[in-house]
Amino acid sequence: MPLARTSEIVVLEIKDETLVYDLRVTQAHCLNESAALVWRHCDGQTTVNEISQLIEAHYRNSAPEDFVWLALEQLQERELLDSDAVERVRPTSRREMIKKIGIASVIAAPIIASMVAPSSVYAAGSCMCINPGACLTQTTCPSVVNCNPSGICAP
């Protein structure tokens, strides 16, 4: 029974997707609606079959267990699960699962897009010094001459 990770993450839910920021590895993950539904039901007490039934009830359409397994594999790869729930003997490849899901369901396949977030020093300012006395010239830079001790262009 899969269990979603709750420590060291920040979650923001918007209309059709869920953004999950992993503080441990400074990565942002965008879960589409179907992947987010699977992730929300990973409470450590709900089986894969039960999650599949919950997805079917939500969409009022068929959702094979392979649909849930595909989402769980993606969640596990991104370390968004606390358990190794995806450790199962899979008789079919991921490609075959996607084919089966596409044929059996009109529900969008679970998709998770991930990206590494910039470190805090780069996120703090877009005016970084190449070397003392030479700032990157951008419209938001207060100066193109001086660098402060943090390596950011200063007035």
- Are 19 and 68 in the same domain? yes
Q: Report residue 90 as tokens.
A: 């899979």
Give me the torsion for CA of 31, 74, 69, 32, rounded to 10°.
10
Domain count, the chain: 2
- Are 81 and 20 in the same domain? yes
- Are 88 and 129 in the same domain? no
- Are 107 and 131 in the same domain? no
Helix spans in the chain (H)? 33-40, 48-59, 65-77, 94-104, 120-124
Q: Report, as an integer, the average pLDDT of 36-41.
A: 93
* The pairing of beta strand 112-116 with beta strand 27-32: antiparallel
Is residue 4 in a domain? no
Identity of the residue numbered 141: C
- Contacting residues for 64 by C-beta, under 8 A, at least 6 apart: 52, 100, 101, 104, 105
pLDDT for position 116: 76
Is the pLDDT at 14 greater than 60? The verdict is yes
pLDDT for position 149: 59
Alpha-carbon gap, residue 38 to 75, rounded angstroms: 9
- Are 70 and 145 in the same domain? no
Average pLDDT, the chain: 75
- Are 129 and 111 in the same domain? no
- Are 101 and 130 in the same domain? no
- Are 72 and 132 in the same domain? no
- Contacting residues for 3 by C-beta, under 8 A, at least 6 apart: 42, 43, 44, 81, 82, 83, 85
The 10s digit of each residue's pLDDT in 88-139 is: 545 566 566 666 555 445 456 777 888 876 554 444 445 555 555 555 545 4
- Are 60 and 131 in the same domain? no
Is residue 146 in a domain? yes
- Are 59 and 107 in the same domain? yes
Residue 130: give the domain boundaries: 125-154
Is the pLDDT at 58 greater than 60? The verdict is yes
pLDDT for position 129: 58
- Higher-pLDDT residue of 110 and 149 is 110
Name the pTM for this structure: 0.65
